[in-house]
Structure 1
Amino acid sequence: MSQPHDPPTKLFTRDFLLAAVANLFISMVFYLLMTSMALYAVDRFQASDSAAGLASSAFVIGSVVARLFAGKMLQVMGRKRLAVLALGLFALSSVFYLLSSTLLLLLIVRLVHGMAFGMANTAIATAVQSLIPQARRSEGTGYFGLSTTLSTAVGPFLAVLLAGSGNYTSVFVFCTIFSASALLFTLLVRMPEPQRPTHLSTAHARRGSFIRSIISPAALPISLVILVCGIAYSGIISFLAPFLISKSMTEAASWFFMVYAVTVLLSRLFAGRIQDRRGDNAIMYPLLVVFALGMAALAFDPSSLTVASAAALTGFGFGALMPCAQAIAVSSVPPAELGVATSTFFLMLDVGIGFGPVALGLLIPHLGYTGMFGSLAVLAVLGIVLYFQVHGRHARGNRPGAI
């Protein structure tokens, strides 16, 4: 049943903070497993490199599949019900890692776990947009995203610490505890439910209803920008560590993401405020340029200076770009369509980050690592051009109600 609600006037409410904590625990599970899963598949099942890679990416594949239907499920089930159901499955999947005795079972668990993540993440992210005052949407989205930023630093560190001795059971136990905690905090969140639209005729609602339940036409243009940038960023996630290790810079690979997380934290303290007060273009163009410069820094022969510069620039660029672009996506639709818009945004992000490495892996034998990162810098520049075409030239000034 839809629950009418007044527009929020405060940002840091009880429900906003509870949702952020729930998102922190969900993201911790994601990064704990993404960091350790390929190695676990090799150690536990003697998996080949390709099979180990599939064990890692199966989670993202499941998330992409779930997001295809998450928007429609939000309309049918409601935000709170879908979030609780998905997080129940999310917690149960964490337990089944301990019971997976074959590589095939592990792949199935990864796929289902990713689907649960995609549904839960979409439901909570959609609900949060209704908890943020419209005039502070960019700022609030950035603050909410800090919970994910924290997990990008703590999750991989915890994974290495727990699995360092080969005791992967402790990784799965922590994931189960974090998943149960996410479910508990989500149960405490009061999620506003939009009124279901009733003005469309049955015939009109039937035409293209399946596609419209998956993709929001209004949110798709800016989501394509994040798809392009996600492909570029996927090169860092997948190939930065082996690149630096091949250059005998193993320590740089370990502190890169710590620098990245710190700069993301700093950028989100002001990026959303600038967007809310000055308009989308005032922050999106600088972020896109900074991100392109960060990718370009990796195209040089690596040194401590270039790696640190790349970490800081990509942190300021891509880290702040995500919540700012998401704010544009959700601001382009009415409240009843927030679910589909959020699903569209994260679907494109997942596709870029999840499937980008497959294409980039084909470039490395021909271009080398520096050539590959150079091509990603060009791709990031194309992201600036794409932004101008789909949104930049039409962008308005500050949001309604902004100071």
Structure 2
Amino acid sequence: MTTSSISQKQPSLWSLSFIFITLSNALLFMVFEMMLPTLPLFVTKLGGEANQVGLITGAFMFSAILIRPFTGLLTHKFNKKYLLLIGIGISAICTGAYYLSTDIYILLIIRLIHGTGFGIASTFFATIAAENIPSDRRGEGMGYFGVGETVAISLGPLLGITILQSSNFITLFIGGMVLLFVSLIMALFLKKEPSEIKKRENQNVRFKLLEKKVLFPSLLIFLVGIAASGIMSFISLYAIEQGFQYIGWFFFIIALASFMVRLVTGKVFDKFGHAYVLIPSAIFSTIGLFILYGASTNFSFFSAAIFYGMGFGAIFPAIQTWCLNLVAEYEHEDAMSSFFNFFDLGIGGGSLLLGIIATVVSYQFVYLVSVFMYVAFLLMYISYIKLRRK
């Protein structure tokens, strides 16, 4: 083989490290989603009331959001891979420790620690994944990386409920801990290649509550988070209210549609840019949510899942990759911190806002408000594109 042919050979996307980090990340989100519908039941088992259920749920997001701005500083002192392992390890131990809670306050402390571990792990999973992807295939690679998260978000709640119905809480928590230890073992095999520009010691390292370079895409993912909270928090109650059946299949269809669309949109992102992904994706999500708002049959209910899955499945990794491309490699942690925090704020704030709307009006009206979130997304993004062109 000649020197020129070696230089022309493109690096492989599907390296062993990339496969391991994709699967490991999927398990982290799988366990997180398993706890969402089941932990409130454990709170009530401990004698907690409705407001305490909200406190336990919110504490996790609070500590995850609080720790992420410090991840950039941590990489100045510690290896990213070791920080990732610490984050997964904390999440695993806390998941198993839930069953040791004898009252709400002990559970609250464990939940706060778990949120810290999850905030660290989710940030470093994304940044290490990006650094194991050839730069000219980052959109494609992050799309595949996000498939695991999408499948976990869709199937995790179903798995958690199934375990609880067939067994008990200790099986649920120990099972979640085992899955996270499998995630930890996979992460041990990650190979972190050295990079000329990742060395933070030569940069002006400082605490960043927000990476200003990714402010606009972070605002967009905030709107996506508000709309997504309607699906995550209220779809089961809405389905019961409307008489829809097979709620689990709704999430499965979203996962399948997201997987299929990511086989295409990542390559489109790399070749043509984010506009060719974000505008069609936002339109698909809008259509899906509008169908959901007016759904009256199982067919329309599942049709909404197809359109929404295609939209959300493409839009999340596209904005994530856009954020990574806007900063230098040594700023990846700061970019991902802002990205995830804005998304989580959208989920948390959206659940609160849409919960009030559901109480005052109806669960159905929640999805009309979600449609307006995507209309605002499109108006903001198109205005941004026009200003950039000028």
- Give the TM-score normalised by the residue count of structure 1: 0.89
Are 1:230 and 2:234 an aligned pair? Answer: no
Are 1:195 and 2:195 an aligned pair? Answer: no
Give the C-alpha shift of residue 214 in structure 1. 2.7
Are 1:256 and 2:260 an aligned pair? Answer: no
Q: Can you list the C-alpha shifts for 1:204-258, whole angstroms capped at 9, x where unaligned?
A: x6xxx43xx2321111210110101110110111111111112232x24222101
Answer whether contact 1:87 1:116 (CA < 8 A) is retained.
Answer: yes
Answer whether contact 1:330 1:341 (CA < 8 A) is retained.
Answer: yes
Q: Residue type of the partner of 1:144?
A: F
Give the C-alpha shift of residue 12 in structure 1. 0.4
Give the C-alpha shift of residue 149 in structure 1. 2.0
Q: Can you list the C-alpha shifts for 1:314-336, whole angstroms capped at 9, x where unaligned?
A: 10011211001111000001111
Q: Residue type of the partner of 1:19?
A: I
Structure 2 CA distance for aligned equivalents of residues 353 and 87 of structure 1: 22
Equivalent residue pairs, number: 378
Identify the residue that residue 298 of structure 1 maps to in structure 2: 292
Structure 2 CA distance for aligned equivalents of residues 261 and 392 of structure 1: 33
Structure 2 CA distance for aligned equivalents of residues 276 and 81 of structure 1: 30
State percent identity of aligned pairs. Answer: 28
1:86-235 paired onto structure 2 within 5 Å: 86-165=87-166, 167-192=168-193, 194-196=198-200, 198=202, 200=204, 209-210=206-207, 213-235=208-230
1:63-82 paired onto structure 2 within 5 Å: 63-82=64-83
From the superposition, tell whether residues 221 and 158 of structure 1 become closer, same or farther in structure 2 (CA, over 3 Å): same
Q: Residue type of the partner of 2:200?
A: R
Give the C-alpha shift of residue 301 in structure 1. 4.7
Q: Residue type of the partner of 2:240?
A: I
Give the C-alpha shift of residue 393 in structure 1. 5.0
Structure 2 CA distance for aligned equivalents of residues 372 and 73 of structure 1: 40
Answer whether contact 2:155 2:251 (CA < 8 A) is retained.
Answer: no
* SS of 1:163 mapped into structure 2: helix
From the superposition, tell whether residues 92 and 391 of structure 1 become closer, same or farther in structure 2 (CA, over 3 Å): farther
From the superposition, tell whether residues 300 and 293 of structure 1 become closer, same or farther in structure 2 (CA, over 3 Å): same
Structure 2 CA distance for aligned equivalents of residues 192 and 118 of structure 1: 23
1:379-398 paired onto structure 2 within 5 Å: 379-390=373-384, 394=388
* SS of 1:214 mapped into structure 2: coil
Structure 2's unaligned 5+ residue stretches are 1-9
Identify the residue that residue 400 of structure 1 maps to in structure 2: none
Answer whether contact 1:70 1:214 (CA < 8 A) is retained.
Answer: no
Structure 2 CA distance for aligned equivalents of residues 227 and 262 of structure 1: 24
Q: Which moved more, 1:349-358 or 1:224-233?
A: 349-358
* SS of 1:235 mapped into structure 2: helix
Answer whether contact 2:84 2:120 (CA < 8 A) is retained.
Answer: yes
Answer whether contact 2:295 2:301 (CA < 8 A) is retained.
Answer: no
Q: Can you list the C-alpha shifts for 1:328-373, whole angstroms capped at 9, x where unaligned?
A: 0000011111111111111111111123101111112333222221
Q: Residue type of the partner of 2:176?
A: C
Identify the residue that residue 4 of structure 1 maps to in structure 2: none
Answer whether contact 1:63 1:119 (CA < 8 A) is retained.
Answer: yes
From the superposition, tell whether residues 10 and 393 of structure 1 become closer, same or farther in structure 2 (CA, over 3 Å): farther
Answer whether contact 2:75 2:200 (CA < 8 A) is retained.
Answer: no
Give the C-alpha shift of residue 72 in structure 1. 2.4
Q: Can you list the C-alpha shifts for 1:261-297, whole angstroms capped at 9, x where unaligned?
A: 1101111111101111122111110001111111112
Identify the residue that residue 38 of structure 1 maps to in structure 2: 40
From the superposition, tell whether residues 359 and 295 of structure 1 become closer, same or farther in structure 2 (CA, over 3 Å): same
Identify the residue that residue 247 of structure 1 maps to in structure 2: 242
